[in-house]
């Protein structure tokens, strides 16, 4: 038997994902600032591309938070 869909804490989980992703983005930027002269252009590009994906993920998470919050309000 399938578990019922419990979305009560989805917003909190999404917000934690946002915070974790922001922290990873900052760490990537700090690494580039500190070591950009010591790393290969390939590694620099990989980190920059990963940070671009992180920015996209943050935006998607924020949209999902809005959707979840609206869903929770509609169920009250």
- Return the pLDDT at 72: 78
- Return the pLDDT at 27: 98
- Return the pLDDT at 4: 66
pLDDT along the chain (76 residues), means of 10: 71 95 98 96 97 98 92 76
Burial class (CB in 10 A: 0-12, 13-18, 19+), 32: middle
- Return the pLDDT at 73: 78
Q: pTM of the entire structure?
A: 0.83
- Return the pLDDT at 5: 64
What does the DSSP assignment read for 14-48?
HHHHHHHHHHHHHHHHHHHHHHTTTS-HHHHHHHH
């Amino acid at each position: 038997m399938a578990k019922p869909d419990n979305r009560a804490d989805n917003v909190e989980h999404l917000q934690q994902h946002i915070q974790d992703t922001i922290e990873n983005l900052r760490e990537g930027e700090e690494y580039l600032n500190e070591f950009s002269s010591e790393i290969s252009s390939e590694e620099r590009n990989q980190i920059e591309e990963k940070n671009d994906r992180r920015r996209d993920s943050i935006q998607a998470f924020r949209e999902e938070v809005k959707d979840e919050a609206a869903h929770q309000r509609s169920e009250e």
